[in-house]
Amino acid sequence: MPDALPKTSMLALSRVHYPVSALGPGRRIGIWFQGCDRRCAGCISADTWAFAEPSLSLEDLMQALAPWLAACDGITITGGEPLAQFDALAALVHRLKAENPKSILLYTGQTYDAACPQLAALSPSIDAAVCGPYEAGLPQTLALRGSDNQTLHCLTPLGEREFASYERILQPEDKTLDVMLDDDGTAWLAGIPRRGDIHNLTRLLDARAGMNGIEKFSQRKGME
């Protein structure tokens, strides 16, 4: 780890969860950053848009992740816009890499060209990145991506091994959504819904419960 990196940092997160299986290979830890000012039309994670005062220390986060780190196949960091908290993100990924050799996938709403300097500064801790904002008017045909403007970049040899195979058309067998249940009964989604998934889910819940089921959902995703 470079000497200049802070040993601790405060983060504003929306959620952490394990396991997540729809945002990269295997059973992954999902970390959702809070705050994004891009406001993409059709974003299903509007709950992560509001910026919040960073209130979680890196030490506390690492303690929370500790039981999952040995078991997980990798870590996916999304939001929100993780690069908007660059110093905290840098401290986090360097710490994760120092303690865990597994792959780290980052989602950012920035294009690759725009994100390049920050990705270079995070090297080699980020193994792969999906770059670009969600564009609801574009087709969605590519694995791990919500719209076809988004680009996948393998940034390390590990990233090449684990993510190069995702540079392909979305297959019917690709898992795109995890449905989670919190202790309080709240259901939420992690992943990248296919077009129409949310509409169909809402209709199903409406039909089953006679209520607006979408209000019962707190949704999280990779950049869909």
Residue count (the chain):
224
Among positions 155-214, residues that touch ligand SF4 (CB under 6 A) are none
Using the minimum distance from each CB to ligand SF4, give the nearer residue, 56 or 114: 114
Taking CB atoms, the residue at the shortest distance from ligand SF4 is 109
Shortest separation between residue 29's beta carbon and ligand SF4, angstroms: 19
Shortest separation between residue 214's beta carbon and ligand SF4, angstroms: 17
Shortest separation between residue 161's beta carbon and ligand SF4, angstroms: 27
Q: Does 48 bind ligand SF4 (CB under 6 A)?
A: yes
Residues in contact with 125: Cβ distance below 8 Å, sequence separation at least 6, in sequence order = 90, 93, 94, 96, 97, 104
What is the DSSP code (8-state) at residue 23? Answer: S
CA distance 117 to 108: 13
For ligand SF4, the binding residue among 74, 133, 159, 191 (CB under 6 A) is 133
Number of residues forming the site for ligand SF4 (CB under 6 A): 14
Return the SS3 of 177: strand
Q: Does 39 bind ligand SF4 (CB under 6 A)?
A: yes
Q: At what angle do helices 112-122 and 86-99 cross, to 10 degrees?
A: 50
Which stretches does DSSP call E strand in the chain? 10-11, 13-20, 28-33, 56-57, 74-78, 103-108, 128-131, 151-154, 177-181, 187-191, 217-219
Part of the chain binding ligand SF4 (CB under 6 A), chosen from 77-85, 93-101, 148-156, 205-213: 77-85
Positions that interact with ligand SF4 (CB under 6 A): 36, 38-40, 43, 45, 48, 79-81, 109, 133-134, 223
